Structure 1
């Protein structure tokens, strides 16, 4: 065995790292890890092939978004359609190639570090692991990392890449009137962002829909949470009999698929033919504009959401109530505390401590609660002052209408960016501030 510190052994790490920089896998071959080195060389060949054959075209597609439009060319007496560049396909293919190269570079860096550390081991008189020993080590100690790598790659390509694509579309003139492959789209910089705030129709719609989105999220979250809290307290009272029956009965709205319940509620609240207004007419009352008046439509939306969401809070709070020590209530009784004081000073803080992260995420989810708004009101009633939006539209339903119904993809992307920033910042900041997460970190 060669002694540590001799002139020959000091160069193992640097030589292995340098060889790995020249070509992934050469450092492993130098360190006598032949199988690992050959596998890395094969991956290196794939990466170089992709970089040489696909990366230049990918970067060209992202930068130019195509140069040739689809045209009709006369061939003899007939006209033949000659397909041009598809700007969106070029953008997507370019992003996929760039993301693959990012993964390749990341693995390249890991290979260089691995060769360097293995060289260090040889300098210290150690023996590099064989391929079998490496696989055994990975299976024993790195298995969680391997398993997490698979969903991480999925998040990278199916979550991060669509977000990047959405951001890039916001800087183009991609609309229904400028649809590939008949037309090429161009980079327009911050023009769409400026139009959102500069053009009165767009700015008025944006501010109004954003305000209602946050009002809706607050009302939907508070009614669902406190409704579930109240029902949970009632069900858990000592004098209540058939507790299992009441729990089962109140969970039924959640057991039915939400879109079915929402469509049923839409028929119930129908202003002309709904059974609710029919019964009101029989009792001598005027029919209520549940879904046709802006204020009543918003009230109906919050009411329907309450009915569909309080069972979840009720079940979770019931579970939390069973964990509160009874000694605390007995001590409160000795001190002469009233029922309201026991709820305010013992029950509510204990429940809120455990439920705070969930309440925050429910608020974030309600900002993006597309299903109930779209299925119950479809954003209506129509508002003539709004740009492709109704009085009950929230940001996510407005985004849907802009993209799927009106073809204003660039404006929809701007709204999507705004939603993403608000939800990300709000969720991360508030969740990290909750006491439950702070104690977990401690």
Structure 2
């Protein structure tokens, strides 16, 4: 049976002498495979482009890759940061070259296969039109991809590479040369007491901050949205406008105002509320616990209007027939909320709610603007209210511990990416079918 199928395929070949394997092997020198397929203009263009790239970039790539290995040889003359940057650029250009080289091999093979099956090679005009139709979407995407690589990917790679060097305040180029230290920074992070204790404390607070602040703002928004959506509530437009007002005020303005209100000495919260009622003052900016309570309170105030707007829109889209059917079945308020309202809200807004958790996990603005991550904690390189992102900022711009900041950034990125990946996959809004 297998022999008969093979013979049938051979009989269908219009041009069996044209060998795709030969075309692929010839394309080891870009353009020759296309010439073998009688696409001479295309082959000449590919050969010229690849030859120009090799002539113009080969010296830069070879020196860049060599510098990436050594990171310089002469202190005070060689800047390891420049060698590292050139090495990363060399890797990017090499990846470009290899990608187009593989596409060149695939193109020669596919064209040869099509010629075997009777495909006629188009003339120059038809070939140009086909290339334009096929490549036009890539032409539009190209500038954005170029910017993405050099504005996002390049800095990320630079940060990743720094995590495996000894770049810090006491070993900074160009006075000193950087050296590759492997996973030493990650090892120090989990073995040296100061680093380990700080990392565990900051990570614990970051997780608590993310879960408590985000969950409270979602719960408050859901409660208010359901309450205002009740048919018995009047002046709905006015109430909704008032609830959305905190969202309209720039966040940094609100944070600065709250920072003054929570001031230990002259803040309105202590002077006008806490002291008259309890005859004491709370050290909002001096005690880590109270600082964290203040931060969670401020974040709930800042975050609930957006979620409230989402929930309000979803609630107005739920058909009243669902509730009428539930009333006929004798369902109480809690049963209607659990089986109708809550599933609808979660199904429609789950991805955006997950983004709220991810945003608060990296919410640098409120932590830094309120108290710069303070107050200071003895035996730690981070403040009492620092989360991972603000700790990284302090290590980078205040302590110049670039290597440790880069290592922590990698861990932070992996945590956020893992959380987002699994949560998005589990959300019902990303599944084809779902039942309430």
In the superposition, the TM-score normalised over structure 2's length comes to 0.91
Please tell me whether the aligned partners of residues 36 and 131 of structure 1 are also in contact (alpha carbons under 8 angstroms): no
Deviates more, 1:194-203 or 1:25-34: 25-34
**1:185-334 mapped onto 2 (5 Å cutoff):** 185-280=178-273, 281=275, 285-334=279-328
Please tell me whether the aligned partners of residues 99 and 157 of structure 1 are also in contact (alpha carbons under 8 angstroms): no
Indicate the residue corresponding to 1:117 in structure 2: 110
Indicate the residue corresponding to 1:103 in structure 2: 96
Deviates more, 1:200-209 or 1:272-281: 272-281
Indicate the residue corresponding to 1:80 in structure 2: none
Q: Evaluate the alpha carbon distance shift between residue 52 and residue 272 of structure 1 in structure 2; reply closer, same or farther with a 3 A threshold.
A: same
Q: Evaluate the alpha carbon distance shift between residue 430 and residue 15 of structure 1 in structure 2; reply closer, same or farther with a 3 A threshold.
A: same
Q: Are 1:179 and 2:185 counterparts?
A: no
TM-superposed CA distance for 1:142, in Å, is: 5.5
**CA deviation map 1:138-196 (0-9, x unaligned):** 55455445444543444344333333322221111100211111111111122211211
Q: Evaluate the alpha carbon distance shift between residue 334 and residue 225 of structure 1 in structure 2; reply closer, same or farther with a 3 A threshold.
A: same
RMSD (Å) for aligned C-alpha atoms: 2.3
Q: Are 1:365 and 2:359 counterparts?
A: yes
> Which of 21, 25, 41 lines up with 1:18 in the alignment?
25
CA distance in 2, matches of 1:132, 1:274: 76
Deviates more, 1:55-64 or 1:279-288: 279-288
TM-superposed CA distance for 1:420, in Å, is: 1.1
Please tell me whether the aligned partners of residues 172 and 178 of structure 2 are also in contact (alpha carbons under 8 angstroms): yes
CA distance in 1, matches of 2:195, 2:420: 27
**CA deviation map 1:33-61 (0-9, x unaligned):** 34433332232023312553112211111
CA distance in 2, matches of 1:131, 1:162: 42
CA distance in 2, matches of 1:271, 1:129: 80
CA distance in 2, matches of 1:132, 1:426: 52
Indicate the residue corresponding to 2:69 in structure 1: 63
CA distance in 1, matches of 2:278, 2:189: 48
TM-superposed CA distance for 1:426, in Å, is: 1.6
TM-superposed CA distance for 1:121, in Å, is: 2.2
2:242 aligns to what SS in structure 1? helix
Q: Evaluate the alpha carbon distance shift between residue 284 and residue 191 of structure 1 in structure 2; reply closer, same or farther with a 3 A threshold.
A: closer
Q: Evaluate the alpha carbon distance shift between residue 296 and residue 432 of structure 1 in structure 2; reply closer, same or farther with a 3 A threshold.
A: same
2:92 aligns to what SS in structure 1? helix
1:178 aligns to what SS in structure 2? coil
Deviates more, 1:136-145 or 1:335-344: 136-145
Indicate the residue corresponding to 1:351 in structure 2: 345
Deviates more, 1:120-129 or 1:222-231: 120-129
TM-superposed CA distance for 1:251, in Å, is: 1.4
Indicate the residue corresponding to 1:392 in structure 2: 385
Unpaired segments ≥5 residues, structure 1 = 71-83
2:170 aligns to what SS in structure 1? helix
TM-superposed CA distance for 1:134, in Å, is: 4.3
CA distance in 1, matches of 2:189, 2:81: 23
CA distance in 2, matches of 1:97, 1:41: 21
Please tell me whether the aligned partners of residues 121 and 128 of structure 1 are also in contact (alpha carbons under 8 angstroms): no
CA distance in 1, matches of 2:106, 2:75: 47
CA distance in 2, matches of 1:364, 1:356: 12
Unpaired segments ≥5 residues, structure 2 = 1-10
CA distance in 1, matches of 2:333, 2:140: 51
> Which of 413, 416, 419 lines up with 1:423 in the alignment?
416
> Which of 408, 430, 435 lines up with 2:428 in the alignment?
435
Indicate the residue corresponding to 1:81 in structure 2: none
Please tell me whether the aligned partners of residues 271 and 289 of structure 1 are also in contact (alpha carbons under 8 angstroms): yes
In the superposition, the TM-score normalised over structure 1's length comes to 0.89
